[in-house]
Amino acid sequence: MLDLDPILDISPNWGVDTLLLLPVLVALEAVLSADNAIALAAIARGLPSPELQRQALNFGLVVAFVLRITLIIMATWVLQFWQFELAGAAYLIGLAVQYFLGRNDGEEVTEHRRINYLWQAIPVIAFTDLAFSLDSVTTAIAVADETWVILTGATIGIITLRFMAGLFIRWLQEYDHLEDAGYLAVALVGLRLLVRVVAPAWVPSDWLMIGLIALLFTWGFSKRTPANQA
């Protein structure tokens, strides 16, 4: 977990701390959502038209928002069961494995890009976001005690995620390594969830995760496709 105690120690007044927490949670959501955004962008990108891609992100994230709010409200109960985190870990690792197996088979179109219908993309987007939310919601609950602060941060965060995913759809066409970097980050988050279940003492810190994901995205943006080179 991120140690945000130094931030909260700025003021002994909880009202002021609450105001400080909200932008912290939103910033945290945005930073930790980069890998989520690229996964959602890659899923939506499989649809045959930009209009369907926008609809998939809009409707998928509406469903994701409902699921995320439900998770936050039920978090005290949900987080008692390691099976939820194990399922989330298996889902995210499965997404990454499926993607790279498709690449290794020499297929021009990966499994995600075979999603041709809006009704297929919406639940995949929603449950992918939910799997990522298992990690971010746990962090938010550790940071803030007031549910409304967490709910507000999640609301702003998912709006930010929608715009980030829209940008990534365009960037996926411009940078050769970006999709690979995104799915490596997805696998990394899945592995962290898995480690949290089987060996909690070995869970890497959020700061380390952010650093590793930043390195992956630096590599992802390192090479433009030939059509987009200056």
Biggest alpha carbon–alpha carbon distance for the chain: 59
160 falls in which pLDDT band (50, 70, 90)?
confident
State residue 36's pLDDT score: 84
Cα-only R_g, the chain: 18
Tell me, yes or no, whether 35 lies in a domain: yes
Residue 80 DSSP code: T
10 pLDDT exceeds 60?
Answer: no
- Using the structure block, give the residue that is written with the tokens 């992956």: 216
Tell me, yes or no, whether 187 lies in a domain: yes
- Mean pLDDT of all residues in the chain? 77
User: Residue 224: helix, strand or coil by DSSP?
Assistant: strand
Burial of 48 from C-beta contacts in 10 A (0-12 / 13-18 / 19+): exposed
Average pLDDT over residues 188-209: 87
Q: Which range is least confidently modeled, 48-57, 80-89, 130-139, 188-197?
A: 130-139
For residues 179 and 122, give the distance between their C-alpha atoms in angstroms, rounded to a whole number: 20
Tell me, yes or no, whether 11 lies in a domain: no
Count of C-beta atoms within a 10 Å radius of residue 80: 8
For residues 1 and 176, give the distance between their C-alpha atoms in angstroms, rounded to a whole number: 32
Backbone angles phi, psi at 145, to 5 degrees: -95, -25
Cα dihedral 183, 138, 141, 42 in deg (nearest 10): 20
Tell me, yes or no, whether 24 lies in a domain: yes
Contacts of 5 (CB under 8 A, 6+ apart): none
Identify the H or E element spanning 113.
none
Quote the domain boundaries for residue 143. 19-228
Could you read off the pLDDT of 84-138 as tens digits, one per residue?
A: 888 988 999 998 898 888 766 555 444 444 577 888 889 989 989 888 888 767 6
Tell me, yes or no, whether 28 lies in a domain: yes
Tally of domains within the chain: 1
Average pLDDT over residues 152-169: 83
Tell me, yes or no, whether 7 lies in a domain: no
Tell me, yes or no, whether 14 lies in a domain: no
Tell me, yes or no, whether 6 lies in a domain: no
- Using the structure block, give the residue that is written with the tokens 């930009």: 50
